[in-house]
A and B are shown apart, each in its own frame.
Chain A
Amino acid sequence: DAGVIQSPRHEVTEMGQEVTLRCKPISGHNSLFWYRQTMMRGLELLIYFNNNVPIDDSGMPEDRFSAKMPNASFSTLKIQPSEPRDSAVYFCASSLEDRGENIQYFGAGTRLSVL
């Protein structure tokens, strides 16, 4: 398996523009997680899907952020409008949720810079 695939790897945009980050989870995994990583706050969970349904979005900073998972093989994280404080590395992770191990496997991340 190719692992979790994120695109783009880097995104530079201007304040006020819409940004869409994409994620393809590992085939067969039923849980998907979006994280944000900054020097100040470390790795923070934004939202978590199970079987394509959002389970916990309490980490989404504000209404400018939205996430969708239209099917088991694709998810998006959208920021509209973007602000400079959104600059961070955004990671997607997937796992096979069951009663045993629930190991999350991470993608390479999208580095977002909002100017």
Chain B
Amino acid sequence: EDQVTQSPEALRLQEGESSSLNCSYTVSGLRGLFWYRQDPGKGPEFLFTLYSAGEEKEKERLKATLTKKESFLHITAPKPEDSATYLCAVQAEVGNNDMRFGAGTRLTVKP
């Protein structure tokens, strides 16, 4: 069965303090790995899709990387507005086009 594990559950950073969020996955053939951001009271907002090991994508202060077993979301010099829950999800190569989500990492950036 496909599994997604995110760590840490919660992360508190000072503004400007760079760090990384981890997403470990087990899937029978990866079709895509997705990162979403979710703010309180809102739906998940799409950030990145990664398809193959070695792939990297960047958006402002965020960079996502992918290996055969895990993905990292690197946050460089974060700002308070980066505070949110970050969700990772995988889509399997074979089967339906549904996604399995991890439990998320709740990031708080203090000014």
Contacts and interface: CB of A to CB of B under 8 A. Distances in A.
Interface of A: 4, 31, 33, 42-45, 48, 50, 55-56, 91, 93, 95, 97, 101-109
A101 to B, nearest CB: 6
B102 A42 contact: yes
Contacts of B83: none
Interface stretch (B16-24, B54-62, B71-79, B92-100): B92-100
B33 to A, nearest CB: 12
A74 B51 CA distance: 31
A93 B98 CA distance: 11
B96 A102 contact: no
Given A43-B44, A91-B43, A104 B104 contact: no
B34 A103 contact: yes
Contacts of A42: 101-104
A97 B97 CA distance: 8
B97 A43 contact: no
B34 A31 contact: no
A56 B92 CA distance: 14
Given A55-B96, A97-B97, A105-B46, 14 more contacts: A33-B98, A42-B102, A45-B98, A45-B99, A48-B97, A56-B96, A56-B98, A93-B43, A103-B34, A103-B49, A104-B99, A106-B45, A108-B43, A109-B42
Contacts, number: 50
A104 B87 contact: no
Contacts of B44: 43, 91, 106
Contacts of B42: 108-109
B34 A107 contact: no
B43 A102 contact: no
A43 B42 CA distance: 13
